Every structure is written in C-alpha cells, then in structure tokens.
Structure 1
Amino acid sequence: MMAYLQNLSYWDWLAFGTVLLILEVFGAGGYLLWIGLAAACVGVLTFLFPELPWAWQFFLFAILSVLTALFWWQRQRSAAKPSDQPGLNQRGSELLGRQFVLHEAIVGGRGKIKAGDSLWLVIGPDLPAGTAVKVTGQDGVLLKVEALQPQG
C-alpha cells in the first residue's frame, strides 16, 4: 500500500475525482462535488509537477477540499435572501389575528371554525358553537383561539 501511495500519478487523482463526481450525481447534495473538484485540481497539479511527494498531494487535497467547501458555503449564505412571501406553504398563518364564529363547539379543548370554504380544527377553552373567537396562534394544523368576549 505504501508503495502505491508513493507512486501516485495524476491519473489516480483524476479517477478519484471522477468517481466522486459520479457519486455526487446520485444525490450527495453537493458535498462530493467540491471534494471531487479538489481531487481533480490535485491531479492537474500532479501532472504539472510530477515529482510532487505523495504527502504533499494529500495535504493539497485536504486544503483544497476545505477551501472549496468554505467557498461554496460562503456563497450560499450570501445568496440566501428573505422571502417576499414569508407565509408561503404555511397553511393557516394567514388566519392569525382574524375573527371567526365557532362552527362546532370546543369540547375538551378542541372544536372547529369555518374559514372560507374550509373547516379548521381549533384548540382553546371550552366554548359553545356560535361564539365569536379570534385566532391567536398555530400549532401545526391546529389553530389556537380565544373568545372575543369573556363568557359569563
């Protein structure tokens, strides 16, 4: 094994980089892309400097892998911008703060309201059907409600 490591050629690095890039195609999520490119770069450097010792080849591979990954991480962070539609794909968030009438009484902490053409499960204090409520929060698919006027 040591004899093989001491005689690494640029073809070995290019083959390693190619294998990593092929594995990336199968869904590594971008992780192997940068390591594969680092291996290809070491292959090019080994072609240009054929007497480069194997220890330096591995050192360059490690440094280039980290640098390319950090470069991509930094680029991804700077490219991320807040959405102009923060409630997108968060059903029910548009109902926060709105008032509704209970469609079904809240019994045991659970009931239903009708919002548009949909029925929504609600949680809150036990209240009879027909009570005006305000949506105060959301817990997954459950809307948290409270009575508009205190019940007497």
Structure 2
Amino acid sequence: MPVIDFWHWWILAVILITAEILLPGFMAIWLAIAAFLTGLVMLLLPQLTWEWQLLVFAVWSVLSIVGWRYYYARRPIKTDEPLLNKRGEGYVGRVITLAQPIIDGEGKVRLDDSTWKVTGPDCPAGTKIRIVALNNVVFTVEKYVE
C-alpha cells in the first residue's frame, strides 16, 4: 500500500478549493477544510495508517458541515432584500382587485406577469382582497376593508 503523507491531503484540499471556485454549489469547501485538517493531523502523527486517515477525514468532514450549519442557523446573513428570491412572499400584504370571482373558496389572480391560485372567502369579480399568506404556491386572501 502506498504511503499517504500530510502533503497529499493538502494537495487534495487545494484541488477541492479549486473545485469550489469553478463549480456551482457550496460543498467542496467543507471537504477542503477537512482535507487540510487531516493533513495537519498527519503532520503531527505521521504513523497513522490510511484507514485511520480516512476516518479522520470523514470525522472532520462531518464536523465542518455540521459546524457551519450550526453557525449559520445562529447568525443568518442579513440583507437589505430579504425577499429577493422569495417572489411569492413579496406579494403578502398586497391589496389587489379580483378579475375573476373566488368560487367555493378557490380562485385565481393575476399578479404582474403570473397567475396565482388563491383560497379565501367567496367574492365576486371586482372585489378588493388582501393577500395574507403564502402556502407553497397558493395565496390565502381575505376581503379588504378600507
């Protein structure tokens, strides 16, 4: 069996960082960190067999991913456009006029360039409604009272 030295792990870390830069996604960086740390362990404990090296790499991989998820859950990224990629949620609170009636609690509305399914009280066409929630891709609406 060939000997795996610490610098092999560091080369793997560089390859994974390069893959992270060139490819879409956000996963290779955590494996690169694990490869770098495994190389560091190998620098300190060069007698580890390849089986133990793989175990160390696997543990560092899991710890880096879980650690990031824990950190990100506690400190989410703040932005001035929190609804940028949540198109439907941006419509919540908006008041619109029905072009088609809501019958048996279901209907459709046209917002900008899209048609959305709505649920709410039966209303004739021309009624003003307010969008109060988004459940998957269906808006919940209520009659708007000025």
Partners in 2 of 1:47 and 1:111 — Cα distance? 64
One-letter code of the match for 2:31? Answer: I
Aligned partner of 1:94 in structure 2 is 93
| Contact 2:91/2:131 (8 A) holds in 1 | no
Q: How far apart are residue 56 of structure 1 and its match? A: 1.1
| CA shift in 2, pair 1:78/1:55, >3 Å | same
Residue 78 (str. 1) matches residue 77 (str. 2): no
Aligned partner of 2:9 in structure 1 is 13
Q: How far apart are residue 85 of structure 1 and its match? A: 8.2
Q: How far apart are residue 121 of structure 1 and its match? A: 6.9
Residue 134 (str. 1) matches residue 129 (str. 2): yes
RMSD of aligned Cα (Å): 4.0
Residue 44 (str. 1) matches residue 25 (str. 2): no
Q: How far apart are residue 84 of structure 1 and its match? A: 9.2
Identity value in percent:
20
Residue 34 (str. 1) matches residue 68 (str. 2): no
Partners in 2 of 1:87 and 1:41 — Cα distance? 37
One-letter code of the match for 2:34? Answer: A
Gaps of 5+ in 2: none
One-letter code of the match for 2:93? Answer: E
Partners in 2 of 1:101 and 1:28 — Cα distance? 41
Report the TM-score, using the length of structure 1 for normalisation.
Answer: 0.60
| Contact 1:38/1:68 (8 A) holds in 2 | yes
1:69-104 alpha-carbon deviations (Å, 9 max, x no partner): 111110011113898987775443232xx5x766x6
| CA shift in 2, pair 1:120/1:12, >3 Å | closer
One-letter code of the match for 2:25? Answer: G
Residue 56 (str. 1) matches residue 55 (str. 2): no
Q: How far apart are residue 30 of structure 1 and its match? A: 2.4
One-letter code of the match for 2:58? Answer: A
One-letter code of the match for 1:25? Answer: I
One-letter code of the match for 1:38? Answer: A
1:16-74 alpha-carbon deviations (Å, 9 max, x no partner): 11111110112343211111111111112212222221111111111111111111110
What is the DSSP-based 3-state SS (H/G/I as helix, E as strand, rest coil) of the residue aligned with 2:128? strand
The aligned length equals 134
